[in-house]
Amino acid sequence: MTDVNTAIKTEIDSQDVVVFMKGTPQFPMCGFSGQVVQILNYLGVPFKGVNVLDDMAVREGIKAYSNWPTIPQIYVKGEFVGGCDIAREMFQSGELQQFLSEKGIPVKSAA
């Protein structure tokens, strides 16, 4: 495993929900990253944001690691879930909430 893959795996293993994104959860630097942050915040899911703009090796490495060409990328308990489009579709159908609950991650119910 290369050093960048080791660093990526360490990030993924550091918290139940990790998002590799452009920018930070407080200041997303692209609309797709912003949408993922909005969804997770709406659901009340604590997550760690990894800013790929801080490290070009991670930015390119995460694409190879997941075999997924775009950012953001969401990992739940070490499992790659997908990017913005997948997260949005799963959220709209209720599948994301169910998936998170099944993984033992509390989700705020819609009030």
Q: Is the pLDDT of residue 24 over 70?
A: yes
CB of 83 within 8 A of CB of 32?
Answer: yes
Has residue 108 been placed in a domain? no
Question: In this predicted model, what pLDDT tens digit does every residue of 50-62 receive, in sequence order?
Answer: 999 999 999 999 9
Work out the end-to-end distance of the chain between its first and last CA atoms, rounded to an integer number of angstroms. Answer: 45
Residue 51, domain member (yes or no): yes
- Give residue 1's pLDDT band: very low, low, confident or very high (50, 70, 90): low
Separation of alpha carbons 13 and 33, rounded Å:
20
84 labelled binding-site residue: no
**CB within 8 Å of 39: residues ≥ 6 apart:** 87, 88, 91, 96
Mean pLDDT computed over 17-27: 98
Domain extent at residue 15 = 3-103
> For the domain that residue 23 is a member of, what is the CATH number?
3.40.30.10
Structural domains in the chain (count): 1
Asked if residue 86 belongs to a domain, the reply is yes
Per-residue pLDDT at 98: 96
At 2, the pLDDT band (50, 70, 90 cuts) reads confident
Place of tokens 């293993």: 13
